């Protein structure tokens, strides 16, 4: 009888013991455990590349591991995106890309992946508008330019078929009731050269390339995309101020990860990258590049979907395609 009582007490105490111990939360997933790669979807020298190379040393110092920037340009960013998707979904391989990533949906490009479902936005690093520019001897205002375009046929130089400048050129045709002819070039430099040389009449030029052209007096800005004026060109009105709505979208430079990266790691990446992007040296670098920090995202998980919907709607309205 005594032995049975002792066994019962031991069993009861054993059942109570776990409840008496303090709660220990599950250990968070370790990150990073090896070098981190930032795959840039563009060649060296552009805004995305420059930002990536600016933040890499700061991230390396914080994390204690190398942060490597690897440029994989081509095919509207799909080469870099596909490469990231072949790597483990552990946050050690990130994609630095731009709005072309989601524009691919509206343009109905044939891709081996879904730009929204297969990725998640970690941080929107920078935003850059496009500036409609003409030669110094051209119209002085957007209204005067539209009036001229209604009198005779004008051409707009784009950085290529189905690029952001091409999309906005076609949208201006619709919004203003004009019929500019798109003249596509293979990149920004030849497009700008054609405008400077008088072979074309205007061009939507990315702000990072437009700023020095404005400062030197080589070209005249007429209007800038976006809902507010651009910090680095404060005297240039927005299209809305000039009487044309629908030009609010700007080019976004974003850092993405695979959608399968665990939430804990993705949230930590977002926090760490947000901290680094806010450092004074990085802010000064962004200003020197001619880009701005976008406003904070209400929900980073919905950012890609929202941006994709906005560009898809604009592309649908213009009828622009890769054909």
The confidence score (pLDDT) of residue 186 equals 87
Q: Give the residue, 16 or 96, on which the prediction is more confident.
A: 96
Per-residue pLDDT tens for 193-202?
Answer: 999 999 999 9
Beta bridge partners of 220: 134
Mean pLDDT for the stretch of residues 94-122 = 96
Residues 275-281, mean pLDDT to the nearest whole number: 93
Residue range 28-55: average pLDDT?
Answer: 91
Quote the tokens at residue 168: 């906005």
Whether the bond between 32 and the residue before it is cis, its omega within 30 degrees of 0, is yes
Mean pLDDT score, 25-31: 61
130-224 folds as D-Maltodextrin-Binding Protein; domain 2 (3.40.190)
Range with lowest mean pLDDT among 8-17, 58-67, 74-83, 295-304 = 8-17
CA distance 285 to 281: 6
| 119 band by pLDDT with thresholds 50, 70 and 90 | very high
Beta strand ranges found along the chain (DSSP E): 36-40, 67-71, 93-98, 119-128, 130-134, 155-158, 181-184, 203-206, 220-224, 251-258
Q: What is the pLDDT of residue 158?
A: 95
Q: Kindly compute the dihedral angle of the four CA atoms of residues 310, 273, 33, 302, in this order, to the nearest 10 degrees.
A: -20
Question: What would the two tokens of residue 295 be?
Answer: 């406003």
Is residue 177 over pLDDT 90? yes
- Which pLDDT does position 257 carry in this prediction? 98
Mean pLDDT of 179-187: 94
Choose the weakest-confidence range: 22-36, 168-182, 230-244, 281-295: 22-36
Residue 16 in this model has a pLDDT that exceeds 70:
no
Report the pLDDT value the prediction gives residue 218, as an integer from 0 to 100: 98
Distance (Å, whole) CA 274 – CA 165? 29
Q: What is the mean pLDDT of residues 92-111?
A: 96
Mean pLDDT for 42-64 is 93
pLDDT score of 166: 96
CB-count burial class (<10 Å; 0-12, 13-18, 19+) for 119? buried
Inter-helix orientation angle 164-176/300-318, to 10°: 50
CATH number of the domain at 36-127+251-318, please? 3.40.190.150
C-alpha distances in Å from residue 133, one per residue of 46, 195, 206, 221: 20, 9, 10, 4
Which DSSP letter does residue 299 get?
-
Residues in the chain: 323
Percentage of the chain modeled with pLDDT above 90: 83
279: nearest Cα among 11, 46, 51: 51
**pLDDT over 70 percentage in the chain:** 91
Provide the 3-class DSSP secondary structure of residue 269: helix
Task: Tell me if 36-127+251-318 shares its fold with 130-224.
Answer: yes
Strand-strand pairing, 155-158 and 220-224: unpaired
Q: In this structure, are residues 282 and 276 in contact, taking their beta carbons and an 8 Å threshold?
A: yes
CB count within 10 Å of CB 270 equals 19
Rounded to whole angstroms, how far apart are CA atoms 94 and 85? 10
**Block residue for tokens 């680095």:** 232
Average pLDDT (122-147) is: 97
Which H helix or E strand runs over 237?
none
Paired tokens of 7:
């066994």
Reduced 3-state DSSP string for 181-202: EEEECCCHHHHHHHHHCCCCCE
Which one, of 179, 122, 133, 138, lies nearest residue 159 by Cα? Answer: 133
d(CA 76, CA 73): 8
Kindly give, in sequence order, each residue whose CB lies less than 8 Å from that of residue 275, ignoring residues fewer than 6 positions away: none
pLDDT at residue 17, as a whole number? 44
Every domain of the chain and the residues it spans? 36-127+251-318, 130-224
What pLDDT shows up at residue 142?
A: 98
Mean pLDDT over the full length of the chain: 91
φ, ψ for residue 182, nearest 5 deg: -80, 130
pTM of the model: 0.87
């Amino acid at each position: 009888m005594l032995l049975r009582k002792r066994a019962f007490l031991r069993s009861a105490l054993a059942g109570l013991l776990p409840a008496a111990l303090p709660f220990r939360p599950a250990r968070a997933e370790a990150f990073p455990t090896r070098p981190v790669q930032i795959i840039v979807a563009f060649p060296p020298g552009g805004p995305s590349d420059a930002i990536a190379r600016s933040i890499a040393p700061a991230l390396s110092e914080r994390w204690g591991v190398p942060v490597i920037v690897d440029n994989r340009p081509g095919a509207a960013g799909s080469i870099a995106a596909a490469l990231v998707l072949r790597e483990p979904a552990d946050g050690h391989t990130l994609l630095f890309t731009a709005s072309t990533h989601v524009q691919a949906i509206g343009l109905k490009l044939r891709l081996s992946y879904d730009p929204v479902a297969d990725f998640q936005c970690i941080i929107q690093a920078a935003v850059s508008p496009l500036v409609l520019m003409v030669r110094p001897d051209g119209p002085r205002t957007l209204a005067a330019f539209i009036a001229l375009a209604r009198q005779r046929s004008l051409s707009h130089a784009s950085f290529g078929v189905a690029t952001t400048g091409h999309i906005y050129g076609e949208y201006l045709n619709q919004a203003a009731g004009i019929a500019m002819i798109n003249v596509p070039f293979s990149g920004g430099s030849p497009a700008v050269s054609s405008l400077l040389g008088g072979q074309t009449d205007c061009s939507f030029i990315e702000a990072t390339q437009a700023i020095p052209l404005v400062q030197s007096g080589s070209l005249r800005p007429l209007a800038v995309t976006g809902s507010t004026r651009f910090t680095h060109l404060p005297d240039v009105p927005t299209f809305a101020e000039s009487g044309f709505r629908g030009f609010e979208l700007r080019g976004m430079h974003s850092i993405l990860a695979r959608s399968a990266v665990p939430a804990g790691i993705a949230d930590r990446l977002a926090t760490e990258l947000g901290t680094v992007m806010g450092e004074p040296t990085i802010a000064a670098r962004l200003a020197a590049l001619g880009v701005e920090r976008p406003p904070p995202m209400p929900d980073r998980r919905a950012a890609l979907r929202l941006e994709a919907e906005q560009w898809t709607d604009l592309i649908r309205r213009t009828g622009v395609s890769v054909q």
